[in-house]
Chains A and B, each alone.
Chain A
């Protein structure tokens, strides 16, 4: 199926990687809907994965009472919904993350405020 048009209909995508200061990474915390939606941040590709967790993630998610209880060694990760294992000591690029990839993490045992998944 294509767009019905009266002539040639061919446009460049609005959000290709070259237009951003760094590739976009989307990320979400499962079972914690207080932070209402996954986030979108252009992270430098040479940022070390573990540094991202200790730095930006702590700033972003630190408000949630569960965040301080996270054991990152037990976190389960998903990339595009499929189980995935990042290497915390490697950079985002070396972990294979590219522009507009989406990752999620689940923290077993932590299910939000009074178990409400918020």
Chain B
């Protein structure tokens, strides 16, 4: 073996630790070693044209991440030891963390698996190494998020079984099926779905609201993992952008395939962000900005510039773009009403906005709030105060593609539910929008397999073993919540208590502990 005569420069060192790790196989043909690289129809002629967006070697990566990890754990220890959870604005805030832990952290883990899998699938060393690093980032994100939120599990309800819930609870099938859809696609579609559409186009609308939300509401713990992940996120964005440009530059036949994936994954990702919209406008006691403002900055301005840049490849804005921009006046309000309806069936608390909250919403949403949503919240509050809090006990119709209850409204008419219908092999399928219908119609074989929580409940697949649905007094909804492993009466119902006004355990404990930490009880 030739030993290098002198220390390598950064560039050579990078080449040695990435490109030099690749060889063309001879004992086995290359297409047997990389069996997934051609079936999606994407044509790559020259992997050496891949421009590494960041010249990071594995050993450099390791040192850099270890340093960040040390800082992060120091902050998390300090947060835990100083009862940092009592520094948050109020206990309503903690529900955003429950949403994050059950809905988002499991996706970080899936992203880890996804990038490991697609990295293995690419015959180009540059793309492979970049995917490997992202795969490691993602498992680190999953771990640090779980770790930093574990402190809340000691004190508050709903944090105890997030992975179990992610695989079962009705609304968590939305983020779960989103990622399952991506990891069951081919490697190139996965890269457009997660690397580009999610990490590049939409990630700011997921992380900025949660992490700024944490900062605004005094949660040092969640803020720390957000900042620790931030430098990784910019690397991920760069990888996503490099991947799409590389694919488009390799062959003009790739353009229509990529365009269809952009249309699909923009819409899939946008639907998942529904949960963020309601979190921003309704769940944060101290709000960062409205969903509408976030959408205007991160999607309309930044995304608009991105697609103007991609136009030279023949790529246009995603098909659902206009619709998504129109929906910004309605989305968060409609979504929070769903959770208010089903507040008995989710492992976090719901509530109606206070008078001050409503004034803020009215100022942020002058076109919609007073006319459409204020009468609803005022009615709910009035009824709840009379002991007549509304909980829906009947299961909703779900969209076959995004799996969200069919609450979305028609383009141009926020008072009319949008129904779309398809037929495949004699069976009817329902979707919530033109975007979801088109995704279904393009690949019905895939979406007829959707594990729709409502249908699964009616098929009897969501009860614990040994449950007897024929037993006298059998309550199917209670049985489903037991299957979810929810602590009924503690994790769910109104923030203000099952008996309205008496307070949920979280609310009462937080107020009591806070008083103990600031006075002499």
Instruction: Check if A38 sits within 8 Å of B396, measured CB to CB.
Output: yes
Any B CB within 8 A of the CB of A52? no
Interface string of A33-65 (1 = CB under 8 A from B): 111111111100000000000000000100100
Any B CB within 8 A of the CB of A117? yes
A62-B441 Cα distance, complex, nearest whole Å: 37
Instruction: Check if A14 sits within 8 Å of B452, measured CB to CB.
Output: yes
Instruction: Check if B455 sits within 8 Å of A39, measured CB to CB.
Output: no
Query: Which chain B residues lie closer than 8 Å to A13 at the CB level?
Result: 424-425, 427, 448-449
Query: Which chain B residues lie closer than 8 Å to A15 at the CB level?
Result: 427, 448, 452, 455, 459
By CB atoms of chain A within 10 A, which of B185, B388, B458 has the most? B458
User: Would you list which residues of chain A between 78 and 107 have a CB under 8 Å from chain B?
Assistant: 80-81, 99-102, 104
Any A CB within 8 A of the CB of B450? yes
A21-B476 Cα distance, complex, nearest whole Å: 14
Min distance, Cβ A33 to any Cβ of chain B, angstroms: 7
A69-B397 Cα distance, complex, nearest whole Å: 25
Any A CB within 8 A of the CB of B451? yes
Min distance, Cβ A42 to any Cβ of chain B, angstroms: 5
**Chain A binding surface SS class:** loop
- Given A11-B449, A15-B452, A60-B394; A117-B35 close (CB under 8 Å): no
Any A CB within 8 A of the CB of B334? yes
Query: Which chain A residues lie closer than 8 Å to B406 at the CB level?
Result: 28, 37-38
Query: Which chain A residues lie closer than 8 Å to B454 at the CB level?
Result: 40
Minimum CB distance partner of B445 in chain A: A3
Instruction: Check if A3 sits within 8 Å of B446, measured CB to CB.
Output: yes
Interface string of B438-475 (1 = CB under 8 A from A): 00011101101111101100111000000000000000
Any A CB within 8 A of the CB of B154? no
A1-B424 Cα distance, complex, nearest whole Å: 13
A6-B454 Cα distance, complex, nearest whole Å: 31
Contact of A3 among B373, B407, B443, B452 (CB under 8 A): B443
Any A CB within 8 A of the CB of B479? no
A80-B429 Cα distance, complex, nearest whole Å: 11
Minimum CB distance partner of B396 in chain A: A37
Any B CB within 8 A of the CB of A5? yes
Instruction: Check if B415 sits within 8 Å of A36, measured CB to CB.
Output: no
Instruction: Check if A36 sits within 8 Å of B390, measured CB to CB.
Output: no
> Chain A interface: which of B36-44, B49-57, B228-236?
B36-44
Query: Which chain B residues lie closer than 8 Å to A2 at the CB level?
Result: 443, 445
Query: Which chain A residues lie closer than 8 Å to B424 at the CB level?
Result: 13
Any A CB within 8 A of the CB of B392? yes
Instruction: Check if A102 sits within 8 Å of B421, measured CB to CB.
Output: yes
Query: Which chain B residues lie closer than 8 Å to A34 at the CB level?
Result: 337, 376, 379, 390
Any A CB within 8 A of the CB of B206? no
Minimum CB distance partner of B404 in chain A: A37
Instruction: Check if B41 sits within 8 Å of A4, measured CB to CB.
Output: yes
Any A CB within 8 A of the CB of B312? no
A35-B36 Cα distance, complex, nearest whole Å: 46
User: Would you list which residues of chain B between 178 and 215 have a CB under 8 Å from chain A?
Assistant: 185-186, 189
Min distance, Cβ B144 to any Cβ of chain A, angstroms: 35
Any A CB within 8 A of the CB of B366? no
Contact of B417 among A14, A28, A41, A63 (CB under 8 A): A28
Instruction: Check if A100 sits within 8 Å of B442, measured CB to CB.
Output: no
Instruction: Check if A116 sits within 8 Å of B427, measured CB to CB.
Output: no
A4-B189 Cα distance, complex, nearest whole Å: 10
Instruction: Check if A11 sits within 8 Å of B458, measured CB to CB.
Output: no
A30-B334 Cα distance, complex, nearest whole Å: 15
A34-B377 Cα distance, complex, nearest whole Å: 10
Minimum CB distance partner of B438 in chain A: A1
Instruction: Check if A116 sits within 8 Å of B375, measured CB to CB.
Output: yes
Instruction: Check if B458 sits within 8 Å of A24, measured CB to CB.
Output: yes
Query: Which chain B residues lie closer than 8 Å to A76 at the CB level?
Result: none
Contact of A117 among B185, B372, B441, B443 (CB under 8 A): B372
A46-B217 Cα distance, complex, nearest whole Å: 55
Any B CB within 8 A of the CB of A74? no
Instruction: Check if A1 sits within 8 Å of B338, measured CB to CB.
Output: no
Instruction: Check if B397 sits within 8 Å of A102, measured CB to CB.
Output: yes
Any A CB within 8 A of the CB of B428? yes
Query: Which chain B residues lie closer than 8 Å to A14 at the CB level?
Result: 448-452, 455
Minimum CB distance partner of A81 in chain B: B419
Min distance, Cβ A29 to any Cβ of chain B, angstroms: 9
Instruction: Check if B375 sits within 8 Å of A113, measured CB to CB.
Output: yes
Query: Which chain B residues lie closer than 8 Å to A19 at the CB level?
Result: 459
Query: Which chain A residues lie closer than 8 Å to B397 at the CB level?
Result: 26, 28, 37-40, 102
A106-B302 Cα distance, complex, nearest whole Å: 42
Query: Which chain B residues lie closer than 8 Å to A100 at the CB level?
Result: 427-430
Q: A60-B394, A102-B421 are in contact. List 10 more A-B contacts (CB 8 A).
A: A14-B450, A16-B427, A21-B460, A33-B376, A36-B392, A40-B458, A80-B421, A101-B428, A113-B379, A114-B375
The 5 A-B residue pairs whose C-beta atoms are closest, nearest first, are A117-B415, A37-B405, A114-B375, A37-B396, A118-B376
B positions within 8 Å CB-CB of A: 35-36, 39-41, 185-186, 189, 334, 337-338, 340-341, 371-376, 379, 388, 390, 392, 394-398, 405-407, 409, 415-417, 419, 421, 424-425, 427-430, 441-443, 445-446, 448-452, 454-455, 458-460
Q: Can you identify 19 A-B contacts, CB atoms within 8 angstroms?
A: A3-B445, A4-B186, A6-B35, A14-B450, A15-B448, A15-B455, A21-B460, A31-B415, A33-B415, A37-B396, A37-B417, A39-B395, A39-B396, A39-B397, A40-B455, A41-B394, A80-B421, A102-B419, A117-B372
A positions within 8 Å CB-CB of B: 1-6, 9-11, 13-16, 19-21, 24, 26, 28, 30-31, 33-42, 60, 63, 80-81, 99-102, 104, 112-114, 116-118
